[in-house]
Structure 1
Amino acid sequence: MIQELYDVQQKAGATFESVADVTIPVSFGNDTTAIQAARQGVALVDLSHWGLLKISGDDRLRYLHNQSTNDFQKLKPGQGCDTVFVTSTARTIDLATAYVTEDSVFLLVSPNRRQQLIEWLDRYIFPMDQVELKDVSHESATFSLLGPGSEALLQQLSDEVLIEDAYASHQELMLNGLKVRVAVGNGLALPGYTLIVSASHAARLWQVLTEAGGMPMGDRIWEQLRIQQGRPVPDRELTEDYNPLEVGLWQTISFDKGCYIGQETIARLNTYKGVKQQLWGVRLKAPVEPGTVVMVGEEKVGKLTSLTETDQGLFGLAYIRTKAGGKGLNVQIADVEGEIVDVPFLTHDYPA
């Protein structure tokens, strides 16, 4: 059924890459136009290669509350949140978005963490827990709308009242006769929505959205945007070398929810202001290989994790030692000069 979606995308100029068992539309041959749409209109991105996990059973909220950094016990159907799964020593596994429904919770997870998270979560289900895990990635398609025109596009397609402004709030809407779960937010610090639909309706929904004005955007430009925005991803910024506070994901952490995996380490870091390094943006004057050490004079102060070429020059993400400084710091990576800058997706301040 998803093959029908690929056929429609291919006719629109898509080129694809296959990674593991997933196919990814990397470009529609319109990269410049697509990024302009994300900034000024509405861009449409296929995130169907991401993982979608379904957690059901009477204990689902308590269970997820105990497995990740955010507060699930306070969430009601139609609400959601970003949360981080961490190891027992608070090292990052993945940043996920949760959508709570009447009888389940859907987790949108990074494509290269889908299987790992299923196995990791299953390990912590005990015999008395009323919890069921299911990978529904191949049963659904996930699209993202990016840009200030996203709400107007949805209003063209539905007579129903759109959902509230709260991040990750969601509801099922009929879009041009198709049942779609529509959620506020798109995984970046840009206006927009996340749409989840049955795989059997994926191709038709893609056509409906593009005919309504959504500009197709490939994964290559999404990757550019996520680096400019500062969204961390596994194997780059989310690794066992870093914890969520160092990443700058403060908004995903509840400091008063009680015990969960990794909680003691995170609480201690917060209480004693022990964050030793932080993730920042960095403007560069020439290409540098991710993984290269960041220097200030003769001192090693961090590491470059991601790099992209933008219409405004080269831009990367880098961890920088807190004592070395932050925004405005001039650095050298290999033999290239750079400047540390803010990125909108992340925060660096301890909560008041």
Structure 2
Amino acid sequence: MSRHTPLYEVHQSLGATLVDFAGWLMPLRYGSESAEHTTVRTAAGLFDLSHMGEVFVTGPEAGAALDYALVGEPGALQPGRARYTMICAPDGGVLDDLIVYRLAAEEFLVVPNAANADRVAGELIKRAAPYQAEVTDRSGEYALVAVQGPRAQELLATLTDADLPGLGYYTGLPGVVAGVQALIARTGYTGEDGFELFVANADAVPVWNALTEAGARPVGLSARDTLRLEAGMPLYGNELTADRTPFDAGLGRVVKFDKKGDFVGKTALAARQSPPERLVGLVARGRRVPRHGYAVVDEAGTVVGEVTSGAPSPSLGKPIAMAYVAAAVPENGGLAVDIRGTREPVDVVDLPFYRRKK
């Protein structure tokens, strides 16, 4: 049976199309997917992300424990800062991509994806055991509401006295939003400016209602997917899997080989820095959409890769996709995607497809 977020009844009242996602009943859309997408690109969209996990790591060696458990170096963060990172298996395969917030000298918040929250918490408990650190999965206590788009700061500023202009990208601070305590983080998964607000479950509905009254418009998972795809952001289960390393996805920069001490997956990752495939962007020349799992072929019809994510792009007005292709394939190699037996020509482009104007 699917779990409900604290905002479930709000989504029902708004007439959202609800679907199971990672064991949670979540809003796919409230109306037009393209309209919701455009709202985030031009104004401010409101997301329920309460299915995400919240795992706290505390203690005098919390930083050292995370440095060992993850491929990044959370222990080097200053309080109030955040970092995108990954947790890998000993063979280098990605178990999840994460955001880690350093809340205080001896307190970190790790935010895993919903589908992987239990696994990540379990791995952190195991990997932190030799350290003076305690891992506590508090995912059931928190709701996560995000406001994203060029008007996000303007609208949120009407509900808080926090110094939003002074809050840099990938930073977070405690504050009061709509009269309730929150962790205000300048992070997101849309390619736009925006904020993610961690609040107690009981405060989710008041914060959501205050943001809608301020002018933010609800956005479902479907538009969230096209937004992150345009921004070239990977999705676990598509671009990232336990069979892939950060280097496969072109994200080798998150692996910090020069940090002090060992970390899980270090030896394997050092040997897998030149993967046989690379992640690329594809733009279709026609109107048919390359979808997840479709084969990428060369001019001779030989399969040279596979689409990991694909959708119509409201911003570009064309179908787009991300795909893994053989490293030896030329940058402009006359590629096509096999869509139900028909070769549909595509152009290879650099990621991301969309970059916001600053």
TM (normalized to structure 2)? 0.88
1:314 and 2:319 equivalent? yes
CA shift, 1:241, in A, is 2.6
Contact 1:97 1:168 in 2 (8 A): no
Could you tell me whether the CA contact under 8 Å between 2:5 and 2:51 is conserved in 1? no
One-letter amino acid of the structure 1 residue matched with residue 27 of structure 2: P
User: Is the 1:113–1:234 Cα contact (8 Å) retained in structure 2?
Assistant: no
Residue 335 of structure 2 is aligned to residue 331 of structure 1: yes
- Tell me, in whole angstroms, the C-alpha distance in 2 between the residues paired with 1:35 and 1:125: 40
Distance in 1 between residues matched to 2:187 and 2:291, nearest whole Å: 31
**Alignment coverage as a number of residue pairs:** 341
AA paired with 1:28?
Answer: Y
C-alpha distance after superposition, 1:64-101 (max 9, x if no partner):
11111211121122111000111112111111001111
Whether the aligned pair in 2 keeps the contact of 1:231 and 1:345 (CA below 8 Å) is: no
1: CA distance, partners of 2:28 / 2:141: 22
Which amino acid in the other structure matches residue 35 of structure 1? H
1:4-61 residue CA offsets vs partner (Å, 9 max, x unmatched): 5222232223221234542211111142322112111111111111222222222211
Q: Is the 8 A contact 2:290 2:311 kept in 1?
A: no
> Which residue in 2 is equivalent to 1:109?
112
For residue 72 of structure 1, what is the amino acid of its counterpart? P
Q: Provide the C-alpha distance between the structure 2 equivalents of 1:204 and 1:22, rounded to a whole number of angstroms.
A: 21
RMSD: 2.3
1:43-82 maps to which residues of 2 (within 5 A)?
A: 43-82=45-84
Aligned ranges 1:1-352 → 2 under 5 Å: 5-19=7-21, 21-102=23-104, 103-126=106-129, 128-162=130-164, 164-258=166-260, 259-270=262-273, 274-284=274-284, 285=286, 286-298=288-300, 299-311=302-314, 312-326=317-331, 328-334=332-338, 335-344=343-352
**Would you say the 8 A contact 2:22–2:114 is kept in 1?**
no
Identical aligned residues as a percent: 25
**19 and 161 in structure 1: CA distance in 2 versus 1, 3 angstrom threshold:** closer
Q: If the length of structure 1 is used for normalisation, what is the TM-score?
A: 0.89
- Look up the equivalent residue of 1:283 and give its one-letter code: V
Residue ranges of structure 1 left out of the alignment (5+ in a row): 347-352
> Counterparts of 1:161 and 1:66 in 2: how far apart (Å)?
34
**Alpha-carbon separation, structure 1, partners of 2:5 and 2:269:** 43
Asked if the contact 1:51/1:137 (under 8 Å) is kept, the reply is yes
* More off after superposition, 220-229 vs 6-15: 6-15
Residues 16, 53 of structure 1: alpha-carbon distance in 2 compared, 3 angstrom cutoff: same
| C-alpha contact 1:228 1:281 (8 A) present in aligned 2 | no
Q: Which runs of 5+ in 2 are unaligned?
A: none
* SS across alignment from 2:18: strand
How far the C-alpha of 1:279 sits from its partner, in A, is: 1.2
